[in-house]
Structures are given as C-alpha cells and as structure tokens.
Structure 1
C-alpha cells in the first residue's frame, strides 16, 4: 500500500522530515524557498524517510527563465537521499533545460538520464513561471500533467510505458544554478504523494489515449482491482494568488443519504461555517484541538451525511447527522471528541483538516454543491495577539453568509471561543458592494478581475458586463472563479500590447445579496515589466503619527511601466545596518501603474479614516515594525534587485516646527536623489500634514506654472444655498518651506478673522473662508480685504492682498 505524505511547510521546515543541503533552504510565507547564494552550484533537499507512492503532485514557482545551467529536478523515487550522488537511481521530473519543458526522466546508477515523457517545449519560456505538476503510475504506465500560470491552464495528460523502476524511494528537490540572478528564486509548496489515482478522474487534461499504448498486464493474472477510493485522492495545489480548495471533480462522488434518513439535503447557505479554531496553541481556555462549528440557518432539519469539509490540502466527509433548525454542531478530529462534547453537540471525523495560517475552507453537500466558503488570514482576526493562536474566528452576521472577511473577527470570549454556543461577535454588518478592486493581466490574453464581494455567477459570467474604453479590446469569455466567487477570468479576443494602457469598465454585476457597485467599476490595465533601479521609490514616510493614526510608507512608480507589487519587498535595517527579513508587500499579483502611489501600512483602513487618502492606488496591509522617531534605514527590492534605499531622520523635518508628531516627511522631487536630505520636507498644514496615496503637498510645482495667490469667486454668499458659499484662496509657491498668515479685514481696516496663523504651506494648496468672524458669527455684507504674509527660514517675507465681496440675499 502506498504511503500518504503531505507537506505544506506551514510549520517551517521540520528537521525530522527533510534532509539535504540544510543551509540552502528557508521557509518564507509558508513556502519552501531556495537560499543558496553560490554561483555555479547545485543543492538539494529530500524526505528523511523512504516512501512508497504511485502518485505525486506539487506546486512550484521558478522566478526566472530556465536554461541548461538553471533547472530543477524533482525526484519522485530515488534510491539514495543524496539526490546529487553520481550513482543515484530513480525517476525525476526536470523543470527547465534548453527546451523550457517539464519532462519525466529515468536514471540508473549515474548513467545518462533517459527521457520517459517529453513535455511541451517552451512551457517555461517566461521570465517567471508558476507550475503545478501531477505525476502518477500504474501497471508500468506513467502519466504527467502540468498546470501553468497564475490562472492555472492545464495541458493534456502525457503518457508513456516504463516499468523498470522501483516501487519506493526518497522524494526531493535538486537545484542547479549558474549566476546570482537565479539566487533565491525557487519556491515549492503543497507536496502530496500517495496511492495510485484513477486517471479518468484527473481533470482538466485529456485522458490517456489507450488505443496508442497497449496496457501492460500486471503480474497477477486475476483482474486488477480498482483503486481504493476510500483513500483521499491527490489535491490540486492552490493558486498562488489565493489558496483554493481541492478540485472535487477529481473526487468520486459521495453517496447521498438514504431517503429514510431524517432531514433534507442542504442547499447554498442552508448550513454555514459559523466558527473555526485554526490554531489551538497557545491555548486561551479552549481544548487544544482545532474545530469547525456549523450552523443551520434554514427552517428545516438538515441531513449532513456526505457533506465535505475541505481546505487546500485535506478533506473530510461528514457521517449521517440530522441538524435541527437554528442549531449548532461542532466538528473535530477523533482525538478531540471528548473534549468538545462537553461544550455542545459534537461530531468527530477522520482526516480533519490541519489548517494553515492563511487558508480557504469549503463546505459542500453530498452532490458537490457549494454550501459555504471562508478565506482567512492573520488580518481576519483584527487582533495581532489573538492571531498568534488560541482564539477562534467567529462569524459576525449570520444573515449575510456570503459576505467575506469583513464578516469575521477574533472571538472575544474569555476562553478564546464559543463552540456550541452563540458567538461573542454576533452582530450586524453592512454588506460590502462588489467594487472592482483591480484587473491584473495573467498573460496577454487573460485578465484576472478581483472584486470586493462574492459575486452572483449568473451575471458575472455574462460578456455584456465588460467593456473597454474606445472598444480597443473584446472579451470572448468570462469565468467566475470558484469557490470564493470574487474573481473573474476574462479571455480576450486579441492580446494586450506592451506599454499600452487599457481601461475596463464593468456594468450590471451584482453580488450574492443583489447589490451592484455604481461607484468603483473601472480599472486601468497594462502588461507588467521588470522595473529598473529607481523606477519605484520611497515617496513619503509617517514615522511618528498622531494618536489613532497608523504609521505608513508611501511608494511612487516614477516609470511609464506597470509593476507587479507581489515581487516587491521592503527591508528594514537595524541600528547596526544589518538587514531584517524582507517584508513582501502583497502575496497576490497587484498592479502599480506608472505615475501611481501605493500606501504601505499596518492598517490602511484605519489610516484612511484619519487622513485624506488617494482613491486610485493600492492600499497594502503589511505588518511594519515600529518606525523609530530617531530615524531608520530601509530598502526596496524587486525580487533580489535593488529599487531604492532611504534613511530618514527627524532633522529632515522643517526646522521652524515646534514638533513633528503627526507630520509626515514628503519627497519633493522624485527625479532627484532619494538620500538627499534637501529633497525631503514636512507635509503642509492645509494638506492635513500628510498625503497618503496622493500627490505630495511639497511636490515641485509644474514647470512653467506661475506662483502667487488668487481667490474665487470674487463675490461669495455664505447663505448655504449651495452656490458660492465659500471663498477659496488658492496659492502656488515657488519652493517648499514657506510659512503663511492670512487675516481678513473689513472696509474700515479692522481685523475680523485670523484665518491662518503660522501655517506651514505646501508648494500648492488652498484655504477657505466661510464668511464668519473670529466670534464665529456671520459678518455683514460688504467689501473685505484678504491680507497674506508669507516668510521662509531664510528671512524672505512676501505680502499679497486682494479685495473680496461678501454678499447676502435681500430679505
């Protein structure tokens, strides 16, 4: 019997499970990553124990275009743990080589490897490659299938006959690399090996053509038994953009419950995932075991027999259980049964999922129809301490089950959760409308659209809902990605062109609550390019925010190319100048268009409640370390290539300020050196002392723009009729660093309103006057004088005055 082996690296790199060139590997973001910075070298990592298997699958990313000197050999069965041994024997899949292919090889005692299955030439002929691989064997027949791209595109199943190899061995990865440009660019995840799967159940490839390859008769003359379908079939590794549940089309259908069993079969949202404990350690009071709590929202008794709970790696089948209306059921592992039975109705199952730090959990009925799904990560807890373990995630509003992460939060119960009882988080939320968050080019013919809510598939699949500005492109296919249904893959009739900008508009797309976005339904699209040094730069830093405002860093794309932010890392340096571990800005592909800004903050939502944020650029949730008020150094990288470096200090703040708390540092000119202290300035007062996601208040004025002051309209009437209620005083300064005072005088020369007092000005801005005096009462109609005095730290003083008419309606 083949042995099941699964590894998702969620617990790091277990020393008792893997051996090899130990220092050549790290685990980053739950993925195994190469970390061997030696040119013209090879290194490996293999399972510590021999495994018997007839099927293998894994996910990998090669952040480069492979060659004859840069490739990966994934050994399925090797007779020695040393995968680089000159006398190793076994089977391996080579990803790369001169043909940029994924092919199966057989090697015997150091002889030249023999190609068993020839993969598709050019499959990996890209600057970066995401690959999912499935291999299986049965009766001397081998099967190979590859899925590539952020939106997985599967080729056909390729077959061959070779029965000369052994039945067991070591599994592992062997890497050959040439130069520094290939360092740290090999990623692996979601390894699953086990029993032979029935290839007729393997989508989406074409089943092998058995008319061309005669089946090999097994040694046993009796009719071969079918595969043991009680074992868990291999699971498709998740898409790197969003962890996905297993493709249940591979799984033989579960027999539905007999008609005489009480309760009807559940339909969509009849039964929902109500509470989950993904990490029981360190315990806060709950039993030290994972659990899922289900709730019956319907008015009927529901029969759960045959329902399936699954994450990206493992699935479990629920036995017969009649769940009454408005009731709860705890589902857990066999070992946890007695512990949770004391807290409420409990059902234990074998193969209960071992959840990852970030995961997607899916509930389906016995006929594979979706019932409910939740995708979560550390940010879903809204509490960094609780996200470390011991606290469950609870649904807030059971009346909006199709709401996404906004409907979940960490339990505030004293014991860390409420299994078997009403949720501590029980409350009401306003459903999020399906705003179009972004459109990302997976390749020149496919766009991946991301929405803020779960979509109604019936409308989102319609081609009539997608339009390109000027009719430049045409959509020929729209596919909603399940199970989350918040992403749509568009197939284009003609390919996108490099360095061209496209604008997509969506109309008539509704979410599962019937809501439609009438505001944010437009996205700019461009093919991405690898940025050069200083294409993306530091543009603003808030290191000492006011109470209630998170710190933030703003980036600016000063190039004309779109950049994929999932390749960008922020690296902080300690006081000794040593680099701390890099912070990936975002796990999923995300566009930063040329000329656009990106906000990087622990909590962009809270930041934009306190500050006026730009509307168009990305807002990235990144767990930044505390930015020191004494100054700190940071670097920006695209993969391993440097983009920008900046060391800020409080001395860069405007010297006439009495304090810098709540005032950000802004870059004046993106084309001048980053580390030039004179290229940074304190943000202007009239901009709110920060400009996250929008043009800096201290940015250099547009060349040729005249400096000075003006007021519009020349006559205003503050009667709140919506017409000219405010006098707007505009200014353009030649340089940053001016401080302004604005006083309003009446026709007799009496000061009636001190509008601005020693306010730090930007290079461009405005102030408004509402017609009120210093006593906050409306002044009488008449002529008033605006008197402006500005000065800089060098002693330069300038004056400006302008008459203004305050008018009132006749009674």
Structure 2
C-alpha cells in the first residue's frame, strides 16, 4: 500500500447543483479517483468545504489503483447503491452552486484542494443545474480550464470514467473584463486567473510600471494619473491561464481620471431623425472642452416622450474636438457614408426621434444635463423637396444649441450627411465670405489614367440654403448634359463633371461651357459661366 500523496488521490467530479435531475439522485456528491499505482487506505479520510473537515465513513477501505469512490451525504447514500459504485457517506458540507472550496484531508492534512466556480462548466446549456463538473484528464486538476460540464445523459458519471475525458476544455486566454481608475492608479480585472510575472504584463505609456497582485485575476497598477489626460496601459501577451492559453495580441487600455463635466462640454452636432430606407437615426456629438471625457453611464432621452432614458453602458473616451456618432444602424450608416471614421461610430439604442418634431437630451450618469436639442422638420432648407435621409447640421459649436438659425440641412454635395466629418454647412471661417464659383483646373482628360479625369468646380456660399444646378453646353451652345438638376450646397465644396454626355458616353474633345446657377432661399439667382477644355 502506497503512502498518500496529492498526485495520487484526486477529486475528478463535483455535483454542486443536482436539480433538476437528469436521472441521477437529486443530491450533491464528490468523486475520488486513485491515480497512483497502489491502493490508498482511506481510514483517515475527511472532507471540507469552507469549514472544519468532516470525517468520512471509510474505516479500513482501500481505494484500489485506478479506482473510484463517491462521497455523499449519509441521508442519500442508499440512493447511490443502485449505480453499482463505491459509496462513502459523511455529513457532506453544502456545495455552493456558483462556486466553493473543496478540500480532502488524510491524516489531518490537506491532500487535495480545489476552488471551483460556475465558469468551470464552459457550457451555457448545462450550467444551470442537473449536470456535474467533470475533469477532462488534461493538465492540472486544480485548473478550471481542464473541467467541463458532464455530457452524460444522466447528468454525471459518479464512480465511473468521466464522459468528458480527453475532450478539449478551455482554449480561450484570459481577457480584461473591467478596469477602474482612481487618483492612485488603475485596477485591472481579468475574467479568469492569470499565470505569468505581473511586472512583465503591463506597460504605461510605453514604460514598465509597478504592479501589485490583488488576487489571481486582479492587478493594481500604481501611478499618479493627471485628471483629464488619457494614459495608455498596454497589456502585453506575456501571460496565460492555468490551461496554458496565451493571447496573441497587445491590448491597449485608455486610462482617464475624469474632470467634472460641465454643461456644454459635449454638444449635439448633427441629427438624422428622418432616415431613408434601410438606415436608422443617428446623433453626432463633439467634445468642445479642453479635456478628455468618459461617456460611461451617460443618459440619452427625448424629454417629449414617455419612454425611459437610454444609457451608454460602456466606457467611451472622447478626446477634445473628437466626434462620436450614436447610431441605431451602424452597418447601414457605414454603407451609406464610405468616408466615415468607423472607429467613431457606436451602435446604440437611441431614444425615439420622431420625423416631424422631437428632442434629444444628453446627461451625465449623475443626471447633470450636458446638452439638449429640440428639433422640427421646419428647420430644414425650405427649397428641399424631401427631407427623408437628410440630417440637420450645427453651424457653430459655440452658438446656443436651441437657436434655430444655428442649424441647417446637410449639403447634397456631401451626401446629405457628414457623420464623424466636419459639417458641410459649418463655415470654415467665422468671417462673412462672398459667394464664389470657379474651376479648379480648366483642362481635364477623362481617360482613366488617374490624372485630371474629372472636372472640378469649387464653390463657396455666403450663407446656408443655397442650391445649384449645373448644365454643360458645347462650344456651339447645344446642351450636352444637365447635371444634378438641383442640389443643396454646403458652406464650401466641389461640383463635378466626369466628361460624359446625356447618353453616358465620353464627350468629344474640345471646349465646353458650364452654366452654374445658384439659388438662395430668398429667390435670388446667380449665374456663372465657366469655360473648360476636354483634352483628347
């Protein structure tokens, strides 16, 4: 008979949540396995789970090499005899469903100790009762990554080889699930215990940093963050879990000790409330303060609606002058606006934004109002025949949000929306400018060589609301093509002619006259005649 050693005696199955039963007795149990080459005398066997060890009725019993025994409570011992297994009874301590410590004692010393959790099931269909936890036989027995929920139809295999022996278990490396910032640094938490030297896992702004290990998955990184400044904490792939799963990429965490947010630090900059087919509403925000802001837990509401406010439930860092677009349909927005900065578009559940009139109010997690905009369809350009799919753009971020003259329809030349981009109607200069229309280059050659293939007509408007029509004539005055019968212009931009006629064919080489007619909302029309040359 061999002396007892931790590597010989193993706990290989745990039934912590036996209901609803799949066929086994509705009772908790532990399974012991002798992995050694000689019998083990279990006379001094005791079991504990978070308290004092309790003796097991096993006097004189020898657990043979490769043999199993099932430890159950005295009251249910008889229920397990029908399974033709070795049953050892005790006053079994309760095994908590969500996780607990299990210890096996021999001769008053611990020979096996496990701290299981419900993560060990690794099976969402079997982690809510009726199935045991089984050791797969792969790697360390005290590693949760080497356990799985039983796949036996009865919910477990007490006293028999486990149903998951040899099956792959956890193959996912630890991942950061939370990080919190305070005036003394940051606390980083992983979703499972991490194996590896703590001082080699993190870099702060590219430099090594002092790390204190709080527990197996929580790390305290101590430094003096500056309020309102964003620091970068790099999590290097130099760690693993107990099952040996290593990450393959560096993860950057952006650390911000916040400055108290004041009303107007973040403003509403663009709103699409009447989307076209296959797209959703969106709201663009911009940080006009001089410090970074985290939008975690900020609220969004329509104060004219009875619906409860929506919440941004994740950390969203907004640097000074950064845009953020809150979209109901991110994929649809990215498809419609190919120039958008996809990293600045977040799909969220927006409050209701009716087509005729509505409100969007933004508030901090503490309920402090930051900005609010009550819009109406009458704020759109009066010359537009339809406003479906047309956003309202803010003209000046430093002017009052609710000032109607501070909003206008996005330009047609910009696709009737500019999410994450400078607003098409916002003036590039605060000074009043004169209207102008001119050719960028007079000669162009639409031959597909990538050089001057398109004729560009640069424009600048004196005020929002101007619309334009572009018609091309040949040198004899005959119409060649009528481009964009009417299009809403932005503060400045470009109209284009690709050199094709009304039939879609490239026009003949020669001189062409371009007539640009600009209509303002007051009924005034300005006409510009420009001479261009289509080179052969």
| TM-score category of the 2 structures, normalised to the smaller one | 0.5 to 0.7
Q: Is the 8 A contact 1:441 1:527 kept in 2?
A: no
| Alpha-carbon contact 2:471-2:483 (below 8 Å) kept | yes
Describe the SS at the equivalent of 2:170.
Answer: strand
- Match for residue 758 of structure 1 among 486, 489, 496: 486
Q: Give the whole-Å Cα distance in 1 for the aligned partners of 2:274 and 2:445.
A: 40
1:635 corresponds, among 361, 370, 386, to 361
Match for 2:387 among 649, 660, 664? 660
C-alpha change, 1:719 and 1:640, in structure 2 (3 Å) is same
SS of structure 2 residue aligned to 1:608: helix
Is 1:598 aligned to 2:324, yes or no?
A: yes
In structure 2, relative to structure 1, the CA distance for the partners of 1:718 and 1:291 (3 Å cut) is farther
Is 2:523 the partner of 1:795? yes
Give the secondary-structure state (helix, strand or coil) at the position aligned to 1:722: coil
SS of aligned partner of 1:532? coil
Q: Which of residues 294, 308, 311 in structure 2 aligns to 1:581? A: 308
- In the TM superposition, residue 499 of structure 1 has moved relative to its aligned partner by 4.8
What's 2:336 paired with? Answer: 610
Identify the residue that residue 777 of structure 1 maps to in structure 2. 505
Of residues 155, 162, 165, the one that matches 1:347 is 155
Aligned partner of 1:497 in structure 2 is 226
**SS of equivalent residue, structure 1 residue 780:** coil
Deviation at 1:739, TM superposition (A): 0.4
* CA apart distance, 1:304: 9.8
SS at match of 2:450: coil
Per the alignment, residue 691 of structure 1 pairs with: 418
Secondary structure (helix, strand or coil) at the match of 1:606 reads: helix
Shift of 1:305: 13
Contact 1:276 1:291 in 2 (8 A): no
Q: Residues 542 and 662 of structure 1 are in contact (CA less than 8 Å); yes or no, is this contact kept in structure 2?
A: yes
Q: How does 1:28-107 map to 2 (within 5 A)?
A: none
Residue 231 (str. 1) matches residue 95 (str. 2): yes
* Secondary structure of 2:155's aligned partner: strand
Is the CA contact (8 Å cut-off) linking 1:537 and 1:644 kept in structure 2? yes
Distance of 1:462 and 1:710 partners within structure 2: 62
Question: Quick check: 1:671 aligned with 2:398?
Answer: yes
* 2:301 counterpart (571, 579, 584): 571
Find the counterpart in structure 1 of residue 79 from structure 2: none
Equivalent positions of 1:462-477 (< 5 A) are 474-476=207-209
**Partners of 1:348 and 1:552 in 2: CA distance:** 51
2:170 corresponds to:
371
The CA deviation string for residues 547-586 of structure 1, in whole angstroms up to 9 with x for no partner, is 10011222222222222111421122246xxx642211x2
Query: Could you list the runs of 5+ residues in structure 1 that have no partner in the other structure?
Result: 1-194, 200-226, 236-247, 256-270, 279-289, 295-300, 311-316, 324-328, 330-344, 350-364, 374-401, 405-435
Asked whether the equivalents of residues 548 and 610 of structure 1 are also in contact (C-alpha less than 8 Å), the reply is no
* Offset, 1:788: 1.7
Give 1:195-594 correspondences, 5 Å limit: 197=50, 230-232=94-96, 251-252=101-102, 273=123, 276=125, 321=150, 345=153, 347=155, 371=170, 442-443=181-182, 446=185, 474-476=207-209, 491=221, 495-500=224-229, 527-574=257-304, 580-584=307-311, 586-594=312-320
**Distance across 2 between alignment mates of 1:759 and 1:798:** 15
Q: Is the 8 A contact 2:122 2:148 kept in 1?
A: no
Match of 2:59 in 1: none
Summarize deviations over 1:232-256 as a string: whole Å, max 9, x none. 39x7xxxxxxxxxxxx8x845899x
What is the CA–CA distance in structure 2 between the aligned matches of 1:571 and 1:527, rounded to whole Å? 26
Q: d(CA) in 1 for partners of 2:130 and 2:422?
A: 46
Q: Structure 1 residues 503 and 625 mapped into 2: Cα distance closer, same or farther (>3 Å)?
A: closer
1:538/1:555 contact within 8 Å kept: yes
Provide Cα deviations, 1:735-786, integer angstroms capped at 9, x if missing partner.
Answer: 2111011223333333323222210111122233322222111122333333
The total of aligned residue pairs comes to 420
- Alignment CA distance shift 1:714-1:650 (3 Å): same
C-alpha distance in structure 1 between counterparts of 2:498 and 2:92, whole Å: 79
**Aligned match for 1:732, one of 452, 460, 468:** 460
Q: 1:446 to 1:728 in 2, by over 3 A?
A: farther
Contact 1:714 1:804 in 2 (8 A): yes
Note the C-alpha offset of 1:514.
9.0
| Alpha-carbon distance change, 303 to 556 in structure 1, aligned in 2, over 3 angstroms | same
SS at match of 1:651: helix
SS of residue in 2 equivalent to 1:678:
helix
Q: Distance in 2 between matches of 1:292 and 1:785?
A: 82
Using the size of structure 2 for normalisation, the TM-score is: 0.62
Which residue of 608, 633, 648 corresponds with 2:375? Answer: 648
Which string of whole-angstrom CA distances, capped at 9 and with x for unpartnered residues, describes residues 268-292 of structure 1?
xxx964x6599xxxxxxxxxxx689
Does the CA contact (< 8 Å) of 1:612 and 1:692 recur in 2?
Answer: no
Whole-Å Cα distance in 1 between the matches of residues 394 and 511 of structure 2? 40
Distance 2:442 2:204 in 1: 43
Structure 1 length as normaliser, TM-score?
A: 0.43
Quote the Cα distance in structure 1 between the aligned partners of 2:382 and 2:262.
35
What is the rounded CA distance, in whole Å, between the counterparts of 1:304 and 1:785 in structure 2? 80
CA distance 1:653–1:463, shift in 2 (3 Å):
farther
Q: Which of the pair has the greater relative contact order for Cα pairs under 8 Å at 6+ separation?
A: 2
The offset of 1:467, in angstroms, is 8.6
> What secondary structure sits across from 1:757 in the alignment?
strand
Q: CA RMSD in A?
A: 5.4
1:485-541 deviation digits (Å, cap 9, x = unpaired):
9xx98958x644345566889999999999879xxx999876432221122222222
Q: Unmatched 5+ residue regions in structure 2?
A: 1-47, 53-90, 106-120, 158-163
Q: Shift of the alpha carbon at 1:628?
A: 1.5
Q: Secondary structure at the match of 1:347?
A: coil
